[in-house]
Structure 1
Amino acid sequence: MLFGENRSDMREVFFSAWEKFHRGDHLEPAEQLVVDVLHRHPEYHRVVGDRDKADKDWTPEMGETNPFLHMGMHIALAEQVGMDRPAGIRQAYEKLAAGMGETHAAEHEMMECLGRTLWDAQQAGGQPDEAGYLECLQRLAQEKGGRVDD
């Protein structure tokens, strides 16, 4: 498991990768992915730069996005697209990114589908519905996407 089994372990992956990057140490592929996501989110540099301030909960009621959840969703999407699992996600991603003209913005759109799918699974006490997730992504790509040649 890339991120561990509890909140502290999951967050440690971000702290460690960021520290290694700043020291100029060799990064493993998973650490490089974390650093790449952090580069696209400079607003979270202060969070991963101070472990003490990062040991808190971020709730919608506070009006803040949980940076670790947000970055984790970017990483999950990168892994899903890289493996094309569920089958068809890569094509939906490419179509959406082409239509939006920017991969990062496309990922933010896709997070809505991912978040809804995870929420529904949690509420039902079951596994995420991959078919429903892919349908959501394909609808999104159809609505906001461009042309992708097969």
Structure 2
Amino acid sequence: MFNPSSNDVRRFFCEVFRKQRAGEILSPMEAIAGDWIAGHPEYADELSDADAAVARDYSVEGGKTNPFLHLSMHLSISEQVSVDQPRGIRDAINALIGRVGQHDAHHHIMECLGEMIWNSQRDGTPPDADAYVECVRMR
């Protein structure tokens, strides 16, 4: 099972950014990540230096958005749509995309995804996929 560390994730996105700028060929997963990177030009500085990205602290107390978490959530949502897991998420997301567009839909979905994860961690229970899909439907 693929279980990257936060440093692996940061280096992955930085490498995709580097390859995009250099015009190099991207793997299919890198191409999806690259599309989301292109949608977030405000992250260019963080993505430009992998060593600095690994060293940077994005704690809540710092008050700065973690671009790597944000991009990872975009990637995760894209994967959920492609395999329709949890079941029903593809239709729920596509309906939301039809109303607000893909990028804005992903940002709404991130709130639902974050809520599901927070509830699971708080309660010590498995993530509630049905509640997650319903949250997306309600958006």
TM exceeding 0.5: yes
- Give, in whole Å, the separation in 2 of the partners of 1:98 and 1:68: 26
**Which sits farther off after the overlay, 45-54 or 29-38?**
45-54
Whether 1:70 aligns to 2:108 is no
Match of 1:133 in 2: 132
Partner of 1:16: 15
Taking the aligned partners of 1:76 and 1:5, their CA distance within structure 2 comes to 13
Cα distance in 2 for partners of 1:62, 1:118 equals 21
Alpha-carbon shift at residue 64 of structure 1 (Å): 1.7
Please identify runs of 4+ aligned residues in structure 1 that moved more than 6 A.
Answer: none
Q: In the alignment, what sits opposite 1:36?
A: 35
- Find the aligned partners of 2:82 and 2:118 in 1 and give their Cα distance: 23
Matching residue's letter, 1:9 = D
Give the RMSD, CA atoms, in angstroms.
1.6
Shift of 1:132: 1.3
Name the counterpart of 1:147.
Answer: none
Moved more, 64-73 or 120-129: 120-129
Shift in Å, 1:80: 0.4
| Corresponding residue for residue 83 of structure 1 | 83
Return the TM-score normalized by structure 1: 0.83
Structure 1 gaps of 5+ residues are 141-150
Take 1:23 and 1:126, find their aligned partners in 2: how far apart are those partners? 44
AA in 2 matched with 1:121: S
Equivalent residues, number: 138
Higher deviation after alignment, 9-18 or 69-78: 9-18
